[in-house]
Amino acid sequence: MKQMKKHLSRVVAAAAMVLTMASFAPQAKAETPTFTVGWSVYAGWNPYFYMQKSGILKKWADKYGIAIKVQRFDYAASLDSFVAKNIDACTMTNMEALDMPAAAGVDSTAIIVGDYSNGNDAVLTRNGLTFATLPGKPVMLVQKTVSEYLLERGMVLNGQQAQLNKLKLINTSDSDIVAAFLNNKGNQAVVTWKPLVSQIVADKSVKSIFDSSKIPGEILDLLVVRTELLNTPNGQKFAKAITGAWYETIQQVAAGQANAIKYSAAASGDSVDSYKEQLKTTALFSAPAAAVSFTNGPDLQKKMDLVRQFCFTHGLLGQGIKSVDDVAILYPNGTIQGKKDRVRFRFNSAYMQAAQLGKL
């Protein structure tokens, strides 16, 4: 933003100079502030692709007199760009929001709680392996992500907490995890997400023993912006425009409108059927009212506490963080989880509320 302002003032100065030099010069058009949203492939985020294609985004951006660009990234790259402040907003899960931008000192605010994973992530095993027999067997997963979180929650909820440190994890890249798991019958267990899960369970010898529908609302998919943006008039316009565009888009997706589904599926190269199947296990908050009541509700704090404890015990908050309270979370009702002077991550339901009341 700072750079943009500098840029803007330079443009204005140049324009003023031209105007004084030649009074007949045409009126210089002030540059419209531009914002960039990064998104990555996931059932709950693919609609951003449709949002842009369909012109919904442009309609809302024009309404507020700004320009919004939507850019697709690899997930990790989108987070890197967001932390480096190259993009203004980014889709991410609640866990990454804590351990990437927030823990790196980039104060971040979730303005849209889009959905939660309701079965999209799953623990899959061969040979009837259960949580009791899992310890000691190699488990393939992308470590330090929601996959590991899901696995640990599964262990805890199945009474195997004491065995947690006996898990043998193999960090496996998501681009190769399907091939690596399926090609060798010796691999016993894998934790991953859809559509990879669907590809793996196509093999009949593999069964799902746990999935995210058993921990509803713990793996949240958010749109996160830098908090400093929300303190500027243009940033607020941006937040309003993207929220408005989101709810118009997601309601079309939830209503099953053909184009909305088709383009959202195309965003990740999925077939329409596969995308519909993924949507079934994605609990979309398609109505702003539902998102607002979830975000303002008391459950969110309990679930976030589980996530932040997980991040802390796994060192995801960084070497320098000595207490889980050093990365504090602010909720819409003013409650702070952690130290008051170290709020790094905020849930803000104001924009969703405005959408609910039709005030965007």
Residues at the contact surface with other proteins, assessed by CB under 8 A: 76, 80, 83-84, 99-100, 103-106, 138, 140, 143-145, 165, 168-173, 175-176, 179-180, 183-184, 186-187, 314-320
Distance CA 109, CA 346 (A): 5
Length of the chain as a residue count: 360
Q: Which of 241, 240, 266 is nearest to 253 (CA)?
A: 266
> What is the closest distance, in whole angstroms, from the C-beta atom of residue 26 to other proteins in the complex?
39
Tell me the sheet residues that pair with 39.
Answer: 72
**Minimum CB separation from other proteins for residue 140, in Å?**
7
Pairing of strands 220-226, 328-330: unpaired
Nearer to other proteins, 172 or 295 (CB): 172
- Provide the 10 A C-beta neighbour count for residue 65: 12
Min separation Cβ 171 and other proteins, Å: 6
Query: How would you classify the pairing of strands 220-226 and 108-117?
Result: antiparallel
Q: How far apart are CA 86 and CA 191, in angstroms?
A: 32
Residue 100 or residue 111: which is nearer to other proteins going by CB? 100
Burial of 7 (0-12, 13-18, 19+ CB in 10 A): exposed
Residue 167 CB, nearest distance to other proteins (Å)?
Answer: 9
* Residue from 245, 268, 323, 290 nearest 89 by CA: 245
Nearer to other proteins by Cβ, of 106 and 111: the residue is 106
Closest CB 118 distance from other proteins, rounded Å: 24
Instruction: Considering the complex, state which of residue 80 and residue 248 has its C-beta at the smaller distance from other proteins.
Output: 80
Is the distance from CB of 199 to CB of 274 less than 8 angstroms? no
Smallest separation (angstroms) from other proteins to the CB of 263: 30
Please identify, using beta-carbon distances, which residue of 240 and 344 lies nearer to other proteins. Answer: 344
- Return the number of the residue (216 or 318) whose C-beta is nearest other proteins: 318
Q: What is the DSSP letter of 223?
A: E
